[in-house]
Amino acid sequence: MTGATSRLAFVDALKALASQLIVLHHLAFYGPMSDHAYSLAPTVISWLSQDARMAVQAFLVIGGFLAARGIAPFGALLSSQPLMLLLKRYLKLVAPLLVAVLIAIACAAIARTLMTHDSVPGWPTLPQVLAHALLLQGLLGYEGLSAGVWYIAIDFQLFALLVGVLWLARVLGRRDAAVAVAGALLVTTLALSSLYYFNRDGDWDNWGVYFFGAYALGIASYWATNQRRTLGWLLPMLGLVITALLLDYRPRIAVALLVALMLAFAGRCGFIEHWPKSRLIAYLGQISYSVFLVHFPICLIINGLFARFASRDPWVNLAGMIIAWLASIAAGALFYRLVESPAQHGLLRTRSASVVKQTL
């Protein structure tokens, strides 16, 4: 495996596919264009509306995979400053999110003038916006200002849980090997509590522990590719997850297991870094977070325009869905160039300046 800063082609491909499925899911789930186009492809639109949301599991697994790769590639936490890790992660997520929330508020205001539909978020309040900025909107019971923003809060919670248990392992262990073993045991314990208890109760779905089982599958899949004893990681993972599925079958967990096995296989076989060789797929993977952030406001505006000015003809509305899909990708590319990429470079410059100051 190369350094943690290099991109992985196979991971980018999974992110690209998952992000596009999420866009199409929201286009199918939130009308009115999909309502009018339904008669043309009822099976496809129903699948996109109900089942394509499983793509979130790919993001959960990939999140765990990349987190392990970045902060604990050999099982032990590399950093001695866990709070700095959390701050860095928070800023990376929230800096683009705040801009996206402002865009969502503006687009929702425009959409209200074009149509009346339950997919349009209500007028925001200041506490609601502050809750989004602090990634607490789900825990505090506020309506999301854009579809999918709940996931960003969950991502941060999951990262914080991982940092927390690995820091605890570092406190408990005295040698590097003992720290890695303690970390693995703590991650496994938390994953089992998620798979066998929390993930079976929907009341926990605003908390990261509900999703930690899928996240831990990504962690285990990376450690499996970065250790000599691959089967020592994969076989227990398979056994525990399959047992959990036999006890209470959940398609989302089955999808997460499949994605984790794909990542482990790609990493162990050596093609995770270089396949597929496609600039388009790599780029779609690179901008996937930006697409995720801005696609819903764009789809909302186009739905409003078609509701106001177009007919209810199924073909016209199907064309509208395709236009909204392509516009979402274009908006994501622009958002990446103007917002996400500059924010990332700003964080890197700040981090570099901090390191230089510490060495003086």
Q: What is the pTM of this model?
A: 0.91
Determine the Cα–Cα distance for residues 285 and 7; give it in Å rounded to an integer. Answer: 10
Looking at residue 76, its pLDDT comes to 87
Looking at residue 233, its pLDDT comes to 66
Looking at residue 4, its pLDDT comes to 43
Looking at residue 359, its pLDDT comes to 36
Determine the Cα–Cα distance for residues 294 and 334; give it in Å rounded to an integer. Answer: 10
Looking at residue 345, its pLDDT comes to 78
C-alpha triplet 171, 236, 60: angle, nearest 5°: 70
Which residue in this structure is represented by tokens 């970045």?
A: 70
> Could you list the mean pLDDT of each consecutive 10-residue stretch along the chain, which spans 360 residues?
64 96 95 93 95 95 96 88 94 95 95 90 92 94 91 96 94 78 91 95 94 95 77 77 93 96 90 92 95 96 94 94 97 96 76 43
Q: Is residue 225 exposed (0-12), middle (13-18) or buried (19+ Cβ within 10 Å)?
A: buried
Looking at residue 292, its pLDDT comes to 96
Q: By three-state DSSP, how is residue 276 classified?
A: coil
Name the E strands within the chain. Answer: none
Looking at residue 314, its pLDDT comes to 95
Looking at residue 272, its pLDDT comes to 92
Whose CA is closest to 54, among 190, 258, 300?
258
Determine the Cα–Cα distance for residues 220 and 272; give it in Å rounded to an integer. Answer: 16
In angstroms, how far apart are the furthest CA atoms of the chain? 70
